[in-house]
Homo-oligomer: A and B are copies of this chain.
Amino acid sequence: MGNVDYEHPSGMNVPRVGVPPPQPFLKSLKYSLKETFFPDDPLRRFKNKPTSKRLVLVLQYFFPIFEWAPQYTVQFLKSDLIAGITIASLAIPQGISYAKLANLPPILGLYSSFIPPLIYAMMGSSRDLAVGTVAVGSLLMGSMLSSEVNPNHNPNLFLHLAFTSTFFAGVFQASLGLFRLGFIVDFLSHATIVGFMGGAATVVCLQQLKSILALHHFTHDADIVSVMRSVFTQTHQWRWESAVLGVCFIFFLLLTRFISKRQPKFFWVSAMAPLTSVILGTLLVYFTHAENHGVQVIGELKKGLNPPSITDLVFVSPYMSTAIKTGLVVGIIGLAEGIAVGRSFAMFKNYHIDGNKEMIAIGTMNIVGSFTSCYLTTGPFSRSAVNYNAGCKTAASNIVMSIAVMVTLLCLTPLFHYTPLVVLSAIIVSAMLGLIDYEAAIHLWKIDKFDFVVCISAYIGVVFGSVEIGLVIAVALSLLRLLLFIARPRTFVLGNIPNSLIYRNIEQYPNANHVPGILILQIDAPIYFANASYLRERITRWIDEEEDRIKVTCEASLQYVIMVMTAIGNIDTSGISMLEEVKKIADRRGLQLVLVNPGSEVMKKLNKSKFQVDIGQKWMYLTVAEAVEACNFMVHSCKPNQSKDEPEDWNHV
């Protein structure tokens, strides 16, 4: 069946609905697999290149440093140096704070800002991502592992489990990238992430009440109800000295954030503020001996670089499953943040980021990290934003930060002995408040109510339940929406736009007119098992409603049902049975079913099933206008039931 024009009933020559040329099964399978796993065609750049050049390209693909290093200039170095030192001043206090959030020794936060940035600098393709630990990931890892092992009773096992889950997170991340499954991250929608991050930030802030009020006993649960109960049942334990200090530092940090936001050139004010707070707080405690008056301090930090931890990984069965589960969850959360951040900055600077490649880079960074006493790292938003504002040019700013942290580890750790915990809490709180993006939530409400519901469910789930519950609820709701789109597709009636051959939705174009005797329906989704029954019922109802309407308006009686298939991307066997049933229903009521513009996938399957023969090539048109014209011609020349007896006549195949 070629694409030969055939004679229209009205005598006009019109093009026929095309059946796409048949493709061998293997070829179409290959095409589908390619579109699913290699939509960005990563092998494109290797085409028509000699082998040696290809090897270089492969090396550059996995290690982008070989791409940018040869073009590195002194000008770049200057910019990266400034940016690197700026982010280091943020990384050191944040690293220590977040490690405490994960119930891990504070020194791990510094270790994690030393090795992983070096790996990323070699393998990462983002020029703006500043690598380090993140608050939400730390909290999540801490709470998931705490439910299995008590970090106070068994700190060593807890530490080893943290390395193990970092290892699994890395393996998981790298394999997603290697197996081109990066699109799994896309299933965390923007709305989910806004709600989830806001909820996690709220929970993290609530956790800080422990240090700010200098409480010794605190709940291990993270939900708002447990925390509030824990805080208000021990009001007599509150230490005002600590609280005053905390509030002052939060105010100071928020003020610097406000200044930097108003005047972007003063980005360094807010970037330096955490380190300034740490220095001020430390000096204050050192000179006033506030540690004897209820202000808790960090205590001793071990000097020296990361000790190896490869032998600490726990592969013993009772804890293994916890480590794997934690690794999967924190791994995907880490990826979502890292890739979203990388992509947004790439968009600003007009360069491209390959999601799968980034996953391999972030995964490798965590695998190597788990061998060298680091825990989960990714590209945190706050630090990357500072990096970007500080004018970084390449991933070399990560190397600079790494060197600064190394110097700190080698010489400066004793200086943190008197750093008050409340200052770290203030740093966390001020960073977290920026993550509660209520403006984005309002924007979601305005544009898409369902997205807003997803966002708020994630928020409430995290704040009142747990981080996992919030995540599961939000992902389930998002998937439900996709399934609902398929299960309950929109169908609508088309009408003729006056003085044209255009037929459009009469709800969207109120001036479009019904065509007498013809019902034109458009279906807005593929016809699959999940909606076949619904569509059958809905189409029947459209016919009923149209007949009711005609009774009232006394128009010509209904004779044709035109189904516009433009928007039906695909059809399965249940869908074809549904079409057959609709055809039977139409026949029974004395109506003729007409199909318009079935797409290539649909046409392929109609062609293989007997439905196409059933309905006849005569009742398939390329445009609504042609179909309507043919129907009108039939109405005026003969009854459709008569013409039904001679369908072969028109079939010039």
Contact = CB atoms under 8 A, between A and B. Distances in A.
B588 A350 contact: yes
A599 B523 CA distance: 12
B573 A190 contact: yes
A615 to B, nearest CB: 16
A230 interface: no
A49 B268 CA distance: 75
Contact of A447 (B41, B447, B576): B576
Given A186-B530, A569-B490, A504 B622 contact: yes
Given A187-B529, A479-B483, A3 B451 contact: no
A408 interface: no
B567 A189 contact: no
A489 interface: yes
Given A504-B18, A541-B39, A573 B449 contact: no
Contacts of A83: none
Contact of A20 (B448, B508, B567): B508
A504 B525 CA distance: 18
Interface string A487-526: 1111010000100101011011111000000000000111
B446 A608 contact: yes
Contact of A190 (B347, B577, B600): B577
A286 interface: no
A451 B530 contact: no
B609 A508 contact: no
Interface residues of A, number: 92
Interface string A540-583: 01001000000000000000000000110110111011000100
A486 B486 contact: yes
A534 B183 contact: yes
A638 B530 CA distance: 50
Given A507-B20, A599-B508, A534 B576 contact: no
B39 A538 contact: yes
Contacts of A532: 186
A530 B191 contact: no
Contact of A573 (B443, B509, B541, B599): B443
Interface in A187-235: 187-192
Contacts of A487: 183, 186-187
Nearest to A28: B449
A623 interface: yes
Contact of A572 (B186, B189, B347): B189
A287 interface: no
Given A347-B584, A510-B21, A567 B570 contact: no
A551 to B, nearest CB: 13
Contacts of A643: none
14 contacts: A3-B509, A20-B507, A25-B449, A40-B541, A183-B530, A188-B529, A450-B572, A482-B528, A482-B530, A485-B526, A485-B570, A490-B569, A508-B603, A525-B569
